Structure 1
């Protein structure tokens, strides 16, 4: 037990031994939705101010409509996580928000906004979300019940949970530094001059587009749906389908074709490790090597993953949508098969150290996230006071 936890238990015994009141969210925060202002892509002036939608930053603009610390909650579209909790974004500074995210600010002496943020992270809003696309309207938002201990207890809870998120941020920064180091070595190994053969991607690989799976998503489905979230998280975030609408085969390369401005998913690739396991979602393409005696599929994966010839299409202002021709016209180096295999062997080792969830930093980061979720659940569970 940490000193903070011990202090919380003493405060509960002193201030609320019989439980706490559960209050509606609408009583605890300011809801600033009336001040939102959507701007179409065509009318947005490119700048450095984050422009937020339901699930986060959509682009960057010149002007702002809010300046401070706020909690954003998805209103329609991307509004709910797999565990039933609402999609939340904690933001500070100057921002612009469109009409797809609710905007919450703190009411002094009522509740700490950071406490509200942590509490909502473990709140199931499944029954409050309605329609297609999914929508969490303001009336439902206002009615969400939040356990409200005294401010002194809220402060201690926030201190503990902030320490977890800060440690997680440090690990993420260290992992990002390791990834940059890996990327440096990858680029060094994949730098070729004019002494070797170069082909267009269309000459060495077949192309296939994915298809929508919305009607077949089921957590008990047999097939993993390869979408941008799956690829960008190295396969850690999964959805399942009961139908394999777009089958892919072992050694195929799957690439994300669409992403938000300055996103990290565009042109990111996934290497298929076995047959009859995956189904390809829309805006993800599959590339199959035409001649294995000429191109090693794993070598091609390393060449294509976040390839700069494709990243140049990201304007930094609007969503990027790669076309089939954009992808197939890029140039691919073709050294000898022996050289390709040598490079693959080296990069496989680097890749495992950086991305393998069972090794080093990724494993520690995963453990810390589980620990955070455990303590968050424990700290935010209160008995309701019976009046």
Structure 2
């Protein structure tokens, strides 16, 4: 596919007319439903303020193969597409367009202009997108005098772009499945290696093994030009992807090499409580409030990295999670956890095995977003290529 040459061949001399979207489509606003009207047992997804269904309802007010634009909330300006009948709430525009426009063609075109649409969102109070913003967007209609040929051109463009979308989804599914399998395998070996069932191993309370330090708040010290990563519940649970920085001179609770940082207060997703992070260098991390630092008293008798594996999402600590309110682990609960104290050589052997699994899962986890980003860039390249219709005097 050679730059504009392919598009030129596809047009085969046909003209392209650019028209305001409002001229060929109606911007329909939906009708709000109350939460009591929604049920997971109903058939039709309900969209309001985002592309994840708010719930399900027994009726649909919009047909399948419709383009949506979220018009309120943090996701205002986001473009979506539903391949099934659905219910549009008042936080979701639906584009009811003329027959000479392919729905998927319109979707791919608007995705390419999503950044512009989001830039027109009114941010005072609740973020809101006005219908006239969408109506004014100029869209290309190839071969407007021959609807059949126009739809054929649009359909070919959709075929190519859908293929890239499907390729990305397939790759993501494969890598996600591989990552899930490796994590399951890792958890199996970790539980087996750390159970010590029937083994003659000493067990001690954690307070005999470590010193405890509670962290201080750094929120007001966060800055884009910092050089120390802040150990927060988000950072630890996302394996470093949620990054905030502070300046080294502003650090209130420095984390030192071989410290084990632990999340004391859970996040709404329920996956952060008691999750640990191993500090591998000095002057690189600072602990934030709701995170504690555990420092092994005698490294010659207990390997800090072994402690990291023993404590990570430890079942004794997770037992304190009520499942209802946000749980905050108390210092006494943490220091009261019983931990195994096998010989140092056995600790080193277990650490070596789990480190290998950790490296494997991390490489897959890091590779997943890289591969997805690569496929997304390929899609964007061809989308821009295939939708770069000449504007002539309308440019």
Fold conserved between structures, TM > 0.5: yes
Q: Which of 224, 227, 243 lines up with 1:222 in the alignment?
A: 227
Q: Does 1:176 align with 2:175?
A: no
* SS state at 1:238 partner: coil
Q: Does 1:274 align with 2:265?
A: no
Alpha carbons of structure 1 residues 120 and 234: separation in structure 2 relative to 1, 3 Å: farther
Alpha carbons of structure 1 residues 6 and 75: separation in structure 2 relative to 1, 3 Å: same
Q: Does 1:370 align with 2:362?
A: no
The alpha carbon displacement at 1:339 in A equals 1.8
Alpha carbons of structure 1 residues 368 and 189: separation in structure 2 relative to 1, 3 Å: same
Alpha carbons of structure 1 residues 92 and 21: separation in structure 2 relative to 1, 3 Å: closer
Give the Cα–Cα distance (whole angstroms) in 2 for the partners of residues 185 and 286 of structure 1.
Answer: 26
The alpha carbon displacement at 1:187 in A equals 1.0
The alpha carbon displacement at 1:97 in A equals 11
Match of residue 283 from structure 1: 290
Of 110-119 and 373-382, more deviation after overlay is shown by 110-119
Q: Which of 335, 349, 353 lines up with 1:346 in the alignment?
A: 353
Match of residue 35 from structure 1: 32
Give the Cα–Cα distance (whole angstroms) in 2 for the partners of residues 198 and 74 of structure 1.
Answer: 57
* SS state at 1:35 partner: coil
Task: Deviation per CA, 1:39-88: give whole Å up to 9, x if none.
Answer: 9xxxx999999999989989x9xx74588889796955x669xxxxx789
Alpha carbons of structure 1 residues 188 and 379: separation in structure 2 relative to 1, 3 Å: same
- 1:45-84 mapped onto 2 (5 Å cutoff): 64-65=56-57, 76=73
Give the Cα–Cα distance (whole angstroms) in 2 for the partners of residues 98 and 322 of structure 1.
Answer: 37
Alpha carbons of structure 1 residues 145 and 37: separation in structure 2 relative to 1, 3 Å: farther
The alpha carbon displacement at 1:295 in A equals 2.4
Alpha carbons of structure 1 residues 130 and 313: separation in structure 2 relative to 1, 3 Å: farther
Of 266-275 and 199-208, more deviation after overlay is shown by 199-208
- 1:129-148 mapped onto 2 (5 Å cutoff): 130=123, 136-139=127-130, 148=139
Give the Cα–Cα distance (whole angstroms) in 2 for the partners of residues 51 and 330 of structure 1.
Answer: 45
- 1:107-146 mapped onto 2 (5 Å cutoff): 107=96, 111-112=103-104, 115=108, 118-119=111-112, 125=118, 128=121, 130=123, 136-139=127-130
Q: Which of 201, 204, 207 lines up with 2:209 in the alignment?
A: 204
* SS state at 1:340 partner: helix
Match of residue 83 from structure 1: none
Task: Deviation per CA, 1:10-35: give whole Å up to 9, x if none.
Answer: 686359875866758xx676554x51
Give the Cα–Cα distance (whole angstroms) in 1 for the partners of residues 110 and 380 of structure 2.
Answer: 13
Q: Does 1:259 align with 2:267?
A: yes
* SS state at 1:211 partner: coil
**Normalising by structure 2, what TM-score?**
0.69
Q: Which of 350, 355, 360 lines up with 2:362 in the alignment?
A: 355
* SS state at 2:253 partner: coil
Give the Cα–Cα distance (whole angstroms) in 1 for the partners of residues 72 and 9 of structure 2.
Answer: 36
RMSD, aligned CA:
4.8
Alpha carbons of structure 1 residues 128 and 258: separation in structure 2 relative to 1, 3 Å: same
The alpha carbon displacement at 1:298 in A equals 0.3
* SS state at 2:255 partner: coil
* SS state at 2:377 partner: helix
Give the Cα–Cα distance (whole angstroms) in 1 for the partners of residues 115 and 299 of structure 2.
Answer: 49
Q: Which runs of 5+ in 2 are unaligned?
A: 142-153
